[in-house]
Every structure is written in structure tokens, then in C-alpha cells.
Amino acid sequence: MARDNAPKERQKRQLERKLARRASYDRILIVSEGSKTEPNYFKEIRAAYRLHTANVEVQPSELGTEPIQVVQYAKELFENGDRHKQVQSRAFEQVYAVFDRDDHRSYFDALKQADALDGKLRNDNKQPVRFRAIASIPSFELWLLLHYEDIQAPIHRDEVMARLKQHIPGYDKGAGGAFATTVGQLNVAVQRAQAFVHKNRQNRYL
């Protein structure tokens, strides 16, 4: 019998093998505003901690970079999947929409929509799905800067970038290796980020 080399059949078999190999922990879908910086960072984490690619899917938004578009694409990708990206519909327990605060006009609308979706969607096991917006204020680079400096007051994104380059010479958006470069200070960065969120929520900055 002749071998079936139809692209659709090969993709189907690859997807079936991928799903069969997935680990027992929650399946997570991460959709980011950026097409390089954030996806690279999350994929580096996935590789460093040997998280299974069938459990942690990282995709940039294809609807645009406005926060509301990131949330909408995360919802659409979860509900409909994408055969070309080998993403199965509703095949996740957790969905995260990742975007910067910057000067986006739809920032607060995106937060509200994500909150409204949390626990309302159902996955392929009929379970309610956690749907969260993960906002970087003002930008993703603040998270990296917190590995080196204790920032507790609002700061402009240009200042964040300038100060980050003092610690990581040659850093630029889209460059890889950010996680490996900063992981040694991960615990202190988490503590500083938690303090930043607590303080600035009290000041109604967040």
C-alpha cells in the first residue's frame, strides 16, 4: 500500500502524538502582545524547567498589539484552536493574555474582559478555565529591571529601557537569552514585583 503523505494527515498524526505525550499538570495557553520578546522569554522558561510543549503553548497575538486584541485572540485561539499551529480547541486549563500597559487606550477594557471570561469558558474536559490578564506596567522590561534594581515608584518605559541596558549591555527587544541572563536574581525580582504591585495598587497607579 502506498504511503499517505498528505500534509493534513501528517499534521493530524503529529498532533495526536503531541497530545499523547503531554504531562499530567495543567495545560496552559499564553498569548502575548509582543511577537518576539515575551514569547522568547516564556519559551526559555519552558525549556529551562523542562515543561512539556504539549502543556505550555506560547503564541503571539495575531489580531494586533492593543490589550483588548490580545485578550480577544487568546479567547479565539482557546475556543477555535489553530490547525496550522497545532493548537487544539479548548485544550487548556489556564489561559493568560500578556500585554504592556504603555499608553494603550484599551488597557482597562482588556482587564475587564479578561476578568469576565475567568471561569466562564469550558475546556475539552468540561472544566471551567482560568482566564487571566497579565499586564506589565509600563512594559515587560520593568520585570527584567527588577532583577537588578528595587523599583517601587512609577517609571516611564524609556527610563526602564535605559536603565536595563546598564545592567544588560546590548539588550534589545526581541533578543533571546533574557531568562538565562536574569534567572540568578529571580527570587529577589519576584519579591520586588510583589511589593511594587502592593504599593502601587494602594496609590491607584495599577
Q: Are 176 and 44 in contact (CB under 8 A)?
A: yes
How many domains in the chain?
A: 2
Alpha-helical segments (H) within 100-205: 107-117, 140-145, 157-167, 178-182, 186-202
- How far apart CA 172 and CA 161 sit, in angstroms, is 9
pLDDT, one tens digit per residue, over 142-195 is 999 999 999 999 999 999 999 999 999 999 988 889 999 999 999 999 999 999
pTM for this model (two decimals): 0.84
In a domain, 1, yes or no: no
Question: Are residues 181 and 122 both part of a single domain?
Answer: no
* The domain boundary residue, chosen from 120, 136, 152: 136
Question: Are residues 178 and 206 both part of a single domain?
Answer: yes
Question: Are residues 118 and 199 both part of a single domain?
Answer: no
In a domain, 62, yes or no: yes
Question: Are residues 149 and 125 both part of a single domain?
Answer: no
- How far apart CA 153 and CA 203 sit, in angstroms, is 10
pLDDT, one tens digit per residue, over 4-49 is 556 667 666 665 555 545 557 899 999 999 999 999 999 999 999 9
DSSP 125: T
- How far apart CA 169 and CA 27 sit, in angstroms, is 36
- Containing structural domain, residue 59: 7-136
pLDDT, one tens digit per residue, over 45-97 is 999 999 988 899 999 999 999 999 999 999 999 999 999 999 999 999 999 99
Closest CA to 26 of 110, 128, 136, 114: 128
